Amino acid sequence: LRMEFEQSPIQGVILIKPKVFGDNRGLFVETWQKERYEEIGITYPFVQDNHSRSVYGVLRGLHYQREHAQGKLVSVSLGSVYDVAVDIRPDSPTFGKWYGVELSAENQWQLWIEPGLAHGFAVTSETAHFHYKCTDYYFPQYEAGIHFADPDLAIDWKISSPVLSEKDKVAPSFKQFCRALGL
């Protein structure tokens, strides 16, 4: 078996624990294999890979696209992050709930976040290299977000004094997101 997986409490969010082969030379891990991932329900085609480098305390999120929703398979190759998916699908039984997990170079875990969820992460190490395979392209005109510190979501990001982009500082609340959907 080359990986273990755990279905999170949110449908469509899967924690993947690939088999890591290590010795005195380093390590090898299979980060994607179409047939194996299809067996656990990840059947979307991937069209874009992204890599970001951030320093301790950087928080990116919570992001989503209003159209062309992106599924993401995320992992960390250096350092560690606290990674969070928020269910923003109004018809979902876990609407408004979130799931978080530490992803690190040490554990080599991945998180699958299917299209239709918001995503963010906070860097918990000195530096982190974060990777994500996406099921759709980035369209800046459809980019949207929800405020990371929304009290209705009450996410524990595992850091204090986050470093944010200007757009993340002014992202709307979860209540504003719901009102925009007519909920």
d(CA 156, CA 162): 12
Identify the pLDDT of residue 27: 85
CA geometry: angle 176, 118, 126, nearest 5 deg: 115
- Measuring CA to CA, which residue among 23, 22, 19 is closest to residue 33? 19
**1: confidence class by pLDDT, cuts 50, 70, 90:** low
pLDDT tens digit sequence for 39-54: 999 999 999 999 999 9
Give 35-39 contacts, CB < 8 A, sequence gap 24+: 36/2, 36/3, 37/73, 37/112
Residues 131/73, Cβ–Cβ less than 8 Å: no
As given in the structure block, the two tokens for residue 97 are 């709930």
Q: Is 51 a catalytic residue?
A: no
Q: Which of 37, 44, 64, 132 is catalytic?
A: 132
| Per-residue confidence (pLDDT) for residue 34, from 0 to 100 | 92
| 125-140 pLDDT per residue, tens | 999 999 999 999 999 9
Query: CA 56, CA 58: separation in Å to the nearest integer?
Result: 6
DSSP class per residue in 143-171: EEE--TT-TTT----S-SS-B--HHHHTP
Segment 164-168 shows an average pLDDT of 97
Is residue 131 flagged as an active site residue?
A: no
Catalytic, out of 63, 64, 119, 147: 63
Please write down the HEC assignment for all residues of 11-51.
Answer: CCEEEEEECEEEECCEEEECCCCHHHHHHCCCCCCCCEEEE
Query: Residues, the chain, total?
Result: 183
